[in-house]
Structure 1
Amino acid sequence: MEGNHEPMPDDGALVKAVLQAFAPEGALAQADPGYLERAPQTELAREIARAIEARRPIVAEAGTGVGKTFAYLVPALLGEGRVLVSTATKSLQDQLFLRDLPHVRDALQVPVQLALLKGRGSYLCLHRLELARRSAALPDRWAVRTLAKIEQWSQATRSGDLAELDGLDDRSPVIPLVTSTRDNCLGSECPSYRSCHVMKARRDALAADVVVVNHHLFFADLALRETGVAELLPSVDAVIFDEAHQLAEAGVQFLGNTLATGQVLDFTRDLLAAGLQHARGLAPWAEVAGGCDRAARDLRLAAAGALREVRGIVKLRWQERAGRPEFQQALQGLGESARAAVQALKTVSEIAPDFPKLQERAEQLARKTGTFAADAALGRVRWIDVGPQQARLVESPLDIRDAMREQLAGAPKAWVFTSATLGEDERLRWFTEPTGLDEAQTLRVGSPFDYAQHARVYVPRVFPRPNEPGHPGAVAQLAARLTAALGGRTFVLTTTLRALQHIGGELHDLLQSQPRPIQVLVQGTAPKRQLMQQFLAEPRSVLVGSQSFWEGIDVPGEALQCVVIDKLPFPPPNDPLVEARVKRLEGEGRSAFNDYFVPEAAVALKQGAGRLIRTESDRGLLVVCDPRLVTMGYGRRLLAALPPMGRLGTEAEALDWLAELAEVPV
């Protein structure tokens, strides 16, 4: 497909340079013999360049295969100003910084300096490594080995970024011991301050032309003014959000208040260690720390209430606990314990730099208990997350509209928001409304892939409804038949963890009884990266995953040719944040179902379906085990949100299509 490389008469120098870069004989083609110009990519790059020149916002949805990363990097690097690029995860940050950015920079031959900036929890803290080496009580021999591995690596690393360490599990108990938090960082009082990896990363970012951050870091800084992004923002000319569909939820997490019992227990441990090391006998440290410890555990018990065994995270409405005397007493007790810690720390504040920092933490805990003891602020919602080890009290805004409007009202700069999935209509209202971008330019650029030829979608009409008890079993049985016909190479995506366990277990039993058994991999049985490695290594396998597998997974080629979705991914109506958003919409006289539930389901469905076709030659089958998609009126909206796949009417047709795909050797 050829692109249109003719600039408009009013286009500036940047647009002309961008169009030339994407031309058949342009810089990208000269740097990459396999380069193919694509009209959608050129169109996207041109509109982003126009937004950068005019210093205005643009919201652009780019279908799978458009090449949106290069479409925003080329104008970003050819422009004259500084650029901040934010993406959804740390792994995407690494990919952008280590692979895509250097490739485009070298192709364009522009002398720009690049920097990568993550949150402090991603960097080794030399001071805490020294403390861990001397005093850490490690839980097992694996932790001892991990600490030894980190010590050896620390001698050679320049960045201190823990992502450099191959095989380091993100869940390792050693990581909190060798990284700092906002609470325990000693700042300029730290004996390792001059060689601090966090400070070096921030200095590099302030000196760079292009800085890569992530959405969580961006909003953490708006809330705390602590990560270095606040210093960067006034100096950049363009801010680009890739994977922007995750922006709103990332922002909501950081723009509220959180009081976690785990946070209190961390404080208690640090308080006791510092007190006994630097000021033994000068305050009743064991008594003060013990009071905070008991108060945290009492609050967790009061938050859990009748819940005994909690496996995942259970989200409770604030009203379910807040009115109970034991909950109020636990909250009050934690406030009193925190204030007692403040008084003890005041007496030793001059002895060591640890103590003023600990006093700040105790004061903050006392303030937060006071916040949650009072009524929630207007326009905010509260809930309680209860997990196996801790409870979190959360107060959150309903969206990021006010925060983003405040940013956009500052010094003029370009704001670019792009993703493969930003809504179901031309105005992309699913994204623009909660982000305060109602007046921004919107652009939808379709995928260049031939879905009509290469993909099919099957929705069984005669099937148990999702609220019927037989639905998970029917999903497992259908998935087993489809997987057997294809010989593996299948994802089963569920909307809940409960369905995940049910479907995963039954699917395992069904496929193990096959003449040639098919391996069943279930989320939660191993780290996500390990499950993906197993899936790719063994073609005769099916992976059953929930929320974290609906997006960000890229399996091109014949390794994945069937995606089964258990039911339409509507938001859970009893979620406190969902309830508050529904209440606001109804208060405005709008239909919560049409204006919230259906758009949310459409975007999530597009994300799940997007796992299927990743390259121009991919072929596959999407199966949605929810008859509402073809029997209810709103189903037409949801089907229209999907790529234009060919429709199959019967299971026999679906099996025939899979048999055709199975003929291609893996």
Structure 2
Amino acid sequence: MPDAWPAGPAADPPAAPAVDLAEAVRRAFALDGPLSAADPHYMEREGQQRLALAVARAVEERSALVAEAGTGTGKTFAYLVPLLLSGRRALVSTATKSLQDQLFLRDLPRLRDALQVPVTLALLKGRASYLCLHRLEQARQTISLADRFALRALARIEQWAQTTAGGDLAELEGLDERSPVIPMVTSTRDNCLGTDCPRYRDCHVMKARRDAMAADLVVVNHHLFFADMALRDSGVAELLPTVDAAVFDEAHQLVDVGTQFLGRALGTAQLVDLARDLLGLGQQQARGQADWQALAAACDKAARELRIAAVGPLREVHAALKLRWAERAEHDGFLDAIDNVGAAFDAAVQALEGVSDGQPDLVRLQARAEHAVQMAQHFVEPGTPDHVRWVDLSAQQARLIEAPLDIRELLTEQRNAAPRAWVFTSATLGDDEELRWFTVAAGLEDAAKLRVGSPFDYPENARLFIPPRFPKPNDPGHAEAVGRLAGRCASALRGRTFVLTTTLRAMQTIAQALRDELAWAGGDVEVLVQGQQPKRALMQRFLANPASVLVGSQSFWEGIDVPGDALQCVLIDKLPFPPPNDPLVEARVKRIESEGGNAFGELFVADAAISLKQGAGRLIRSETDRGLLVVCDPRMAQMNYGRRLRAALPPMTLATSEQEALDWLHHLAEQHT
């Protein structure tokens, strides 16, 4: 199999550690310990030590721990120190590739040196992060000579390929993650040739996997973890059985990532790409042995007609949209279009069966076509109660998606497979002591729970303002009012402001009203808006120019760390309830109600509390940070559930009027000057 893991050691129960782990952890965090000796700014944190000891207990007992640790607790060191001192093989999974890099390149080497432990480390990402040497050689033949930007990017990659040892594209500074060249020079599970690849010995993906299987501690990400778990039935040997402890940081993202990867999908863009490859490879490697042009044209036509059927009466789609499965499945034309996809690609399979022997590219092409046929057949059949189906539409494609409602079954199965420690941690896992928002969806009700509050002095350093007389979120003037208020705040603070929106639709209206307000007030505050540039470039511009405001949607609500006075005001446009018409949300509501639960409290308010805590968490990032959080939604103050949402936030001092809030910002601006 192309995606098979190299063989690795099994996780046999290790001998009892020579040193008591809890005592070793206490010594490490003591004021006269190795961490203090390595860092002149080291501070003892009671919450950090409580979390570290709980992790140590889970490692020694091979048990499960769910731990919510407030901002500033130092949770990264709190779980890494026990892992490094335990002498046991471990896996750490993070939410993003950038957090992976931070752990592997900065935190782990520092800790390993400070603790003086002989631990080997490895970083493992998905194959789309690594250069594929075979596809790099093919890219020059397929890229359009008219696309000078793509040619320039390809030339940079070709030059870098001569010197890189690991092949991780993150090494290549300035490469836009949205570049169309990246899919041309990386592999997917569909087009990877595995051991048949002429560059297999030099394969960066396989080298990264070999390093991972030989290391004591491996850093992965949630996407890779669940992708690997989802491929078990295809014979993929897993990394997980070889470790004694698995830690998931930013665990609040696990359920969403898990349902995404543990489901099934059939995308029209994927089918169009397959039709293009059928034509290109058929004519290159099996010319004259089938009418490749006719076969590819039939596949391409079936894919495009499926998208037309999915769009249906909407005619055009300009923004991402989710449709309930029943909205399309009840029309015969939609299911017929899926059937036609199956028939067109089945004809391609029949043609490839006779010519693919000895041709690795054609063998993989046949497997991809067979998978397309299987997915088409699956989506024509009725769904099951424990899964939900929907149609994702965008301007470019339609995707048929089926996903489980949660990750309970799969995590329970993995936990029962072998005794090992399981640690799940984040700053936001629930708004009650049992952390039910996370534990129920993950099947972890039986795990030990720990909540460690932030050590920051929020009452002294932070203010919360909920405008008392403000348009309601469904009022036509709400978005403009948010922009105007953001302009007044940014003007008082002279920039250094985030505006977080719950939808992309509201973002442009808010940004324009913000510009208008700033223009009326005078000054030269710059307005940056998500989509103008890649996320990393926008953040660099924001940090380089203190007199700026950044308006962003979901991708800016978390994973952004701006300590100090570079960011001192965060506005949230409205309470971040999940969209009620989202098919996955609807299915979860039905299940809660069928079990006699209260869907509004258990799902909508609980979800909003988590998202609100994440957005508010952008404001105060260190002991000395100060700032203002504005929630532009009067329901926060007027509705009964508002008390629950306010209680979920850190204990900020309440500003009772806009003037009081602006006075606080003027005070911060004077201190900054």
Q: TM-score range by the shorter chain?
A: over 0.9
Q: Does 1:90 align with 2:88?
A: no
How far apart are residue 582 of structure 1 and its match?
0.3
Say which of 569, 573, 588 aligns to 2:595.
588
Query: How many angstroms apart in 1 are the aligned matches of 2:651 and 2:131?
Result: 47
Query: How many angstroms apart in 2 are the aligned matches of 1:138 and 1:31?
Result: 54
Query: How many angstroms apart in 2 are the aligned matches of 1:483 and 1:53?
Result: 51
Give the AA of the match of 1:485: A
Give the aligned partner of residue 69 of structure 1. 76
Say which of 171, 177, 181 aligns to 1:170.
177
Give the aligned partner of residue 385 of structure 1. 392
Query: How many angstroms apart in 1 are the aligned matches of 2:316 and 2:146?
Result: 23
Give the aligned partner of residue 529 of structure 1. 536
Query: How many angstroms apart in 1 are the aligned matches of 2:635 and 2:75?
Result: 33
How far apart are residue 340 of structure 1 and its match?
0.4
How far apart are residue 61 of structure 1 and its match?
0.5
Say which of 605, 625, 633 aligns to 1:598.
605
Query: How many angstroms apart in 2 are the aligned matches of 1:331 and 1:180?
Result: 27
**After superposition, where does 1:236-255 map in structure 2 within 5 Å?**
236-255=243-262
Query: How many angstroms apart in 1 are the aligned matches of 2:75 and 2:107?
Result: 11
Give the aligned partner of residue 563 of structure 2. 556
Give the AA of the match of 1:287: A
Say which of 281, 284, 287 aligns to 1:277.
284
TM-score scaled by length of structure 1: 0.97
Q: Does 1:231 align with 2:225?
A: no
Give the AA of the match of 2:389: R
Query: How many angstroms apart in 2 are the aligned matches of 1:399 and 1:201?
Result: 30
Match of 2:521, SS state, is: coil
Say which of 640, 650, 654 aligns to 2:647.
640
Query: How many angstroms apart in 1 are the aligned matches of 2:566 and 2:641?
Result: 33
**After superposition, where does 1:305-454 map in structure 2 within 5 Å?**
305-454=312-461
Query: How many angstroms apart in 1 are the aligned matches of 2:354 and 2:120?
Result: 48
Query: How many angstroms apart in 2 are the aligned matches of 1:636 and 1:337?
Result: 57
**After superposition, where does 1:12-161 map in structure 2 within 5 Å?**
13-137=20-144, 140-161=147-168
Query: How many angstroms apart in 1 are the aligned matches of 2:274 and 2:624?
Result: 54
How far apart are residue 312 of structure 1 and its match?
2.8
Give the AA of the match of 2:23: K
Provide Cα deviations, 1:548-580, integer angstroms capped at 9, x if missing partner. Answer: 111001111111100011111111000000000
Match of 1:612, SS state, is: coil
Say which of 539, 553, 572 aligns to 1:546.
553
Return 5+ residue gaps in structure 1 as ranges: 1-10
Farther-moved stretch of structure 1 (500-509 vs 633-642):
500-509
Give the aligned partner of residue 8 of structure 1. none
Q: How many residues align?
A: 656
Match of 2:604, SS state, is: helix
Provide Cα deviations, 1:489-520, integer angstroms capped at 9, x if missing partner. Answer: 11111111111111112212222333213111
Give the aligned partner of residue 5 of structure 1. none
Query: How many angstroms apart in 2 are the aligned matches of 1:190 and 1:226?
Result: 23
Q: Tell whether the 8 Å contact from 2:143 to 2:151 is kept in structure 1 after alignment.
A: no
Provide Cα deviations, 1:273-314, integer angstroms capped at 9, x if missing partner. Answer: 111111111110011111111111111111112334433311
How far apart are residue 223 of structure 1 and its match?
0.6
Give the AA of the match of 2:270: Q
Query: How many angstroms apart in 2 are the aligned matches of 1:351 and 1:204?
Result: 31
Q: Tell whether the 8 Å contact from 2:52 to 2:81 is kept in structure 1 after alignment.
A: yes
Q: Does 1:609 align with 2:619?
A: no
How far apart are residue 526 of structure 1 and its match?
1.3
Query: How many angstroms apart in 2 are the aligned matches of 1:369 and 1:138?
Result: 36
Query: How many angstroms apart in 2 are the aligned matches of 1:311 and 1:197?
Result: 38
Query: How many angstroms apart in 1 are the aligned matches of 2:463 and 2:146?
Result: 50
Give the AA of the match of 1:318: W
Q: CA, structure 1 residues 34+649, in 2 after alignment: closer, same or farther (shift >3 Å)?
A: same
How far apart are residue 227 of structure 1 and its match?
11
Match of 1:74, SS state, is: helix
Over aligned residue pairs, what C-alpha RMSD do you find?
1.4
**After superposition, where does 1:159-238 map in structure 2 within 5 Å?**
159-225=166-232, 230-238=237-245
Query: How many angstroms apart in 1 are the aligned matches of 2:237 and 2:495?
Result: 48
Query: How many angstroms apart in 2 are the aligned matches of 1:210 and 1:508?
Result: 49
Query: How many angstroms apart in 2 are the aligned matches of 1:213 and 1:248?
Result: 17
Give the aligned partner of residue 623 of structure 1. 630
Give the AA of the match of 1:311: H
Q: Tell whether the 8 Å contact from 2:488 to 2:517 is kept in structure 1 after alignment.
A: no
Give every structure 1 segment of 4 or more consecutive aligned residues whose post-TM-superposition deviation is greater than 4 Å. Answer: 226-230
Query: How many angstroms apart in 2 are the aligned matches of 1:579 and 1:134?
Result: 47
Query: How many angstroms apart in 1 are the aligned matches of 2:98 and 2:288?
Result: 47
How far apart are residue 430 of structure 1 and its match?
0.5
Give the AA of the match of 1:413: R
How far apart are residue 135 of structure 1 and its match?
3.4
Identity %: 65
Return 5+ residue gaps in structure 2 as ranges: 1-17
Q: Tell whether the 8 Å contact from 1:491 to 1:564 is kept in structure 2 after alignment.
A: yes
Q: Tell whether the 8 Å contact from 1:217 to 1:227 is kept in structure 2 after alignment.
A: no
Provide Cα deviations, 1:145-201, integer angstroms capped at 9, x if missing partner. Answer: 000000000010010110100011111000010001000001111100111111111
Q: Does 1:570 align with 2:601?
A: no
Give the aligned partner of residue 3 of structure 1. none
